Amino acid sequence: MSSIEDIVVTVTIDAECDYDPNWIRSKPLTFRSIQEGLPERLQPAFAEVGAVPTYLLTVEVLEDDACVQTLRSLQGDFELGTHLHAAFIEPQKKFFDYAGVDSPDFQCSYPPDIEYQKLKNLTMLFENQLGYAPRSFRAGRYGLSSQSLRSLQRLGYRVDTSITPHIRWTEPNATVDFRKAPQQPYYPSDEHIDRPGAASESTMFEVPVTVKPRFMRNPLWFRPWFSTVDQMKDIFRYHVKKHSNQRVLSINMMFHSMEIIEKASPYPQNLSEVQYFIEQMQEALQWCEQEGARFVSLNGVRDAFQTSTDLSR
């Protein structure tokens, strides 16, 4: 018997400058992924299926006035949050020209106060450019620690989506180990990011990226291009079965804005591949809805779980 009453599907997108097919920032630096990708490709595609994306914005996007203009006039349903690549913001900023540069740092390898100041500067940049405070976050290269979560909490964030269960990242400059992290949303404990702690209104809520573990192989991601539609259906069914004791179930699709611009990532390299990516994404999302799921923003996932807790009291 399944206790699941509510399946919420969210789409979380790292929204950055264009990269090149080797995952290096474009040179010269371009922003097709924001200026064209969001209004012309992604928002119409999400509107067709009724999904509510959350775009997590990097420093260089928020510093670019044309990008901010695009974001301010974006149509349809969406949430905006932040995404930190720590080498690109003060203090200890390493690059002033971002063109042709890789992402060399995990934010959590900086001293706590430096990491906090970087997050604060990113948050203030968001507020200055968009006029309100961000509530959602993802760390660049998933480099999040308990220290990072405490900083985010101090800055008023509510939801993080940096955790990739079953995966251990060993590059570029630290080890981030999420192998034991929960597959479904939780309130991380103060000391151990990969363990549930006490829930409270002020505690950060973690919405892990949706993956399915595989024996002796890398996990499958609920992500277009990385997985076929059939594989995404399989991941969805795996979560429904494995977490049938929950009242609310979360499915979190992630990718980057650059992936729907040809040659701006290692993935689609021409327009027909972009079209294929978007069609696969829409097909997987539509199938989830047929299975009874509804679409929410990243903060909407927290709301769904909170409502459920209230009801069960």
The residues of the shown chain that bind Zn ion, judged by CB under 5 A, are: 14, 140
Tokens of 67: 């990008």
The least distance separating Zn ion from the CB of residue 292, rounded to whole angstroms, comes to 32
Q: Which is nearer to Zn ion, 140 or 268 (CB)?
A: 140
Rounded Cα distance, 148 and 107, in Å: 8
| DSSP class of 258 | G
The least distance separating Zn ion from the CB of residue 221, rounded to whole angstroms, comes to 15
Q: Which is nearer to Zn ion, 14 or 194 (CB)?
A: 14
Report the run of H or E that residue 274 belongs to, with start and end.
helix 271-290
The least distance separating Zn ion from the CB of residue 62, rounded to whole angstroms, comes to 13
The least distance separating Zn ion from the CB of residue 84, rounded to whole angstroms, comes to 8
Name which of 100, 101, 121, 98 is nearest 110 in CA terms: 121
Q: Which is nearer to Zn ion, 70 or 103 (CB)?
A: 103
Write the single-letter amino acid at 246.
Answer: Q
The least distance separating Zn ion from the CB of residue 140, rounded to whole angstroms, comes to 4
Q: Which is nearer to Zn ion, 220 or 258 (CB)?
A: 258
Rounded Cα distance, 86 and 110, in Å: 9
Backbone angles phi, psi at 102, to 5 degrees: -85, 180
User: Measured between alpha carbons, how far apart are the two ends of the chain, in Å?
Assistant: 21
Q: Which is nearer to Zn ion, 140 or 188 (CB)?
A: 140
